[in-house]
Structure 1
Amino acid sequence: MEYRILGDSDVKVSAIAFGAWAVGGWMWGGTERNDAVEAIKASFDLGVTSIDTAPVYGQGTSEEIVGEAIKGLPRDQVQILTKYGMRWDLAKGTLAFHTQANDGTPIDVYKYASKESIMRECEASLKRLGTDYIDLYQIHWPDVTTPISESMEAVGRLIEQGKVRAAGVCNYSVEQMKEAERTLKLVSNQVPFSMVKRDIEADLVPYCLSANRSILAYSPLERGLLAGKIKPGHQFAKGDHRATYKAFKDGNSERVWSFLAKIRPIAEQKQVSLSQLVIRWTIDRPGITVALVGARNAEQAVQNAKAIEVQLTAEETTFINEQLNEVELN
């Protein structure tokens, strides 16, 4: 495994991190808890020491699963990355969306990151995770109802208390990062990034490179689309959010399938999967520090971790990029 420092902090993370959204079951059509625990343990055995989760993933389920999985592991060798600012148990802030809990109960999720709310969320996360500190604490989405300075002051207090090691943000623009930094030093921004979603390269990547801030790329496989296993027209299971996700609609899956056919020979020549090729390309991209990749069982987790072994030549990378330039999703 390769390890990288988050910003100018002392938090060292694995270049491939375990993304624990899907294991929470929420919006992914369910998951087996034991399989999820084994997936995280299998990842750790191969050097994937960083785990990204959030309270809203399964309304606490994902964090509980992470807590169960890391029991018995040396805590100082595991980096827990979790979030705050998405409440389903409190109707304050801005309504983000209507959805369903894992048991089918309708719930409303709000973007809310007041100081008091953050303090309460942190305590709840620590309890579910079974730990006394969080390595990277990130605001999940911008909250327009709370001053950014108030949210950052709260995290600064948690850092002073030893409950948080470093502060990050998710889905923040460059301007929002700059505003946050007036109150608290950030080390990272977690944003969507994939071969077919590279808009952050226009402004966020240059800013983070110049300011020494890390970028954690989520959905690098575009929620499975770039893995080359979901053929156009695939019918998703009930409760799977991808059924309405635009990357799989309006001819997009056909365009991506055609692109994957062009780069598949590179993967075959290297005797690796398309997923592994895509993950390697992602962490080699300028400005990208970490690729967050999910897995719902140990086999998937092992394959993801082994992507670190893939090596791309300059010529291969150029070829892939040339083919990508011809792909435009609706």
Structure 2
Amino acid sequence: MEYRKLGDSEVEVSRITFGSWAAGGWMWGGTEQNDAVGAIHASYDLGVTSIDTAPIYGMGLSEEIVGEAIKTLPRDKVQILTKFGMRWDLAKGDFAMKTKNNDGQDIDVYKYAGRDSIIKECEDSLRRLGTDYIDLYQQHWPDVTTPIDETMEAVSRLIEQGKVRAAGVSNYSVAQMEEAEKTLHIVSNQVPYSMLRRDIEQDVLPYSLRHNKSILAYSPMQLGLLTGKIKPGQHFDDSDLRATNRLFTPESVTRVNEFLEKIRPLAESKNATLGQLVLRWTLAQPGVSVVLVGARNAEQAIQNARAIDFELVTHEVDFITERLEQMHEQTA
């Protein structure tokens, strides 16, 4: 495994980090808790020491699963990355969405990062995780109803109390990162980034490189589309967020699969899957410190971790990027 320190902090994380969104079941059509714990353990055995979670994933269930998984692991060898600022149990702040919990009940979710709310959320997360500190505490989404300095002051207090080791943000723009930095030193920004979603290359990525902020790329497999296993017209249940995602139209899936076939020989030459090649390309992009990859069972977790087992040299990265740009040109 390869490891990186987050920004200039002392928090060192595995470049492949276990993403536990799907483990919470929410928006992914259910979860099997034993499978998720097994997946985390299988990842850890291959050097994946970092786990990213959030309270909103399954309304606490994902954090509880992570807590169960780390009970038998040495706490000082595991990095817990969790978040705050998405409330499903309090109608306050910036309305985010209507959704359903794992029991199928309708709930409203709000982006809210007021001072008292953060302090409460941290205590709840520590309890669910069964630990007394969080390695990286991230604001899940910006909250336009709360001044950023109020949010960052609350996190600063948690750091002073030893409950949080380092502060990060998620889904922040450059302007928001600059505003946060006036109050609290942030070490990372967790943002969506994949071969099919590269908009952060315009501003967030260059800013982060200049200011030594780590980029944690989420959805690097674009919700499974970049595995090559999704077929045009594939059915997704209404509870699955892919059911309404424009990248999963039959036309889009066909186009992506054609691109993947062009890079498949390179994957085969590395004795790697397409998914592993996609992860390696993503990690090769300047400024990308970490990819967050989900797994619902041990087999998937092992495949993800083994993406680190081979290298891509510069001309191979360029070959993939050129094919990717050809695909985008055809759709422009």
Partner residue of 2:10? 10
Alignment-derived partner of residue 111 in structure 2: 111
What's the offset of the Cα at 1:249? 2.1
Q: Would you say the 8 A contact 1:277–1:310 is kept in 2?
A: no
Residues 44-83 of structure 1 aligned to structure 2 (within 5 Å): 44-83=44-83
Equivalence for 1:216 = 216
Name the aligned partner's letter for residue 87 of structure 1.
Answer: R
Indicate if the aligned counterparts of 1:42 and 1:302 stay in contact, CA closer than 8 A: yes
Q: How does 1:27-176 map to 2 (within 5 A)?
A: 27-176=27-176
Which residue is equivalent to 1:185?
Answer: 185
Is the 1:135–1:166 contact (alpha carbons within 8 Å) kept by the matching residues of 2?
A: yes
Give the match's secondary structure for 1:107: strand
Contact 1:232/1:257 (8 A) holds in 2: no
Hey, which bits of structure 1, 4+ residues long, moved more than 3 A? none
Looking at structure 2, the residues matched to 202 and 190 of structure 1 have their Cα atoms a distance apart, in angstroms, of: 16
CA shift, 1:208, in A, is: 0.5
Cα offset, 1:205, TM superposition: 0.8
Partner deviation per Cα, 1:253-281 (whole Å, 9 max, x = no partner): 12111110110111112111001001111
| Structure 2 residue 319 is the aligned partner of structure 1 residue 314 | no
Residue by residue over 1:112-135, the C-alpha shift from the partner in whole angstroms, topping out at 9 and shown as x without a partner, is: 000000000000000000000000
Return the offset for 1:310: 2.0
Q: Secondary structure at the match of 1:325?
A: helix
Displacement of 1:318: 1.1
Q: Name the CA distance, whole Å, in 2 between partners of 1:238 and 1:177.
A: 35
SS in structure 2 at match of 1:222:
coil
Q: Secondary structure at the match of 1:153?
A: helix
The answer to whether the 8 Å contact 2:189/2:213 transfers is yes
- Unpaired stretches in structure 1, ≥5 consecutive residues: none
The number of residue pairs the alignment matches comes to: 330
Asked if the contact 1:67/1:129 (under 8 Å) is kept, the reply is yes
In 2, the alpha carbon distance for the partners of 1:103 and 1:55 equals 16
| C-alpha distance in 2 between matches for 1:226 and 1:89 | 35
Q: In the alignment, which residue of structure 2 is the partner of 1:196?
A: 196
Q: CA deviation at 1:238?
A: 4.7
2:283, 2:239 → 1: CA distance? 30
Q: Give 1:25 shift.
A: 0.3
User: CA separation in 2, counterparts of 1:327 and 1:76?
Assistant: 44
SS of structure 2 residue aligned to 1:65: helix
Query: Partners in 1 of 2:189 and 2:238 — Cα distance?
Result: 32
Q: How far did 1:312 drift?
A: 1.1
Contact residue 233 and residue 250 of structure 2 kept, 8 A: no
- Distance, in Å, in 1 between the alignment partners of 2:17 and 2:217 is 10
1:317 shift after superposition: 1.1
Q: Identity of aligned pairs, percent?
A: 68
Match of residue 295 from structure 1: 295
Q: Please say if residues 267 and 277 of structure 2, whose CA atoms lie closer than 8 Å, have aligned partners that are also in contact.
A: yes
1:277 paired residue number: 277
Contact 2:232 2:250 survives alignment (8 Å):
no
Contact 1:196 1:327 in 2 (8 A): no
Provide the aligned C-alpha RMSD in A.
Answer: 1.0
- Contact 1:20–1:52 (CA under 8 A) maintained in structure 2: yes
Deviates more, 1:133-142 or 1:246-255: 246-255
State the distance in 1 between where 2:272 and 2:33 align.
Answer: 28
Q: Report if the CA contact (8 A) 2:221-2:278 is conserved.
A: yes
Paired letter, 1:287: G
Cα deviations across residues 176-227 of structure 1 (Å, max 9, x unaligned)?
0000000000000000000111110111111101100000000000010001
- AA at the equivalent of 2:183: T
Corresponding letter in the other structure for 1:166: A
Structure 2 length normalisation: TM-score?
Answer: 0.98
Structure 1 counterpart of 2:7, one-letter code: G
Please give the alpha-carbon distance, in whole angstroms, between the structure 2 residues aligned to 1:169 and 1:212. Answer: 14
User: Which letter maps to 2:212?
Assistant: N
**1:82-111 CA distances to partner (integer Å, 9 max, x unpaired)?**
000000000000110000000100000000
- More moved, 1-10 vs 242-251: 242-251
Q: Give the Cα–Cα distance (whole angstroms) in 2 for the partners of residues 47 and 237 of structure 1.
A: 34
Deviation track 1:7-39 (CA, whole Å, cap 9, x = no partner) reads 000000000000000000000011111000000
Shift of 1:236: 1.6
In 2: Cα distance, 1:9 partner to 1:315 partner: 32
Q: Displacement of 1:251 after TM fit?
A: 2.1
